[in-house]
Amino acid sequence: ARLRIVEAGRTVQEIPLMPGRLILGRTPDNEVQIDSRFISRHHCQITTTSQTSVIEDLNSTNGLYVGAS
């Protein structure tokens, strides 16, 4: 599985999802840093196993959007 980060209809980052936990947010202490005013300091986490990946909002201000429009 891969995480694709899209900005203004353009893929700006694509990350393979390996087993474990991946934290995304605006600050440098996250595994994936996204420099956007719409992203919280610690926005969400993705937990991946050999079977599935689960995304969880970390009480972000703007919430999550998953999928394509």
Q: Is residue 65 situated within a structural domain?
A: no
* Domain harbouring 26, CATH code: 2.60.200.20
Q: Is residue 16 situated within a structural domain?
A: yes
Q: Quick check: 7 pLDDT over 90? A: no
Please write the tens of the pLDDT for every residue from 8-34.
889 999 999 999 999 999 999 999 999
Supply the range of the domain harboring residue 34: 2-57
Interior angle at CA 32, CA 30 and CA 33, nearest 5: 75
Q: Is residue 46 situated within a structural domain?
A: yes
pTM as predicted: 0.86
Q: How far apart are CA 45 and CA 26, in angstroms?
A: 13
Q: Is residue 45 situated within a structural domain?
A: yes
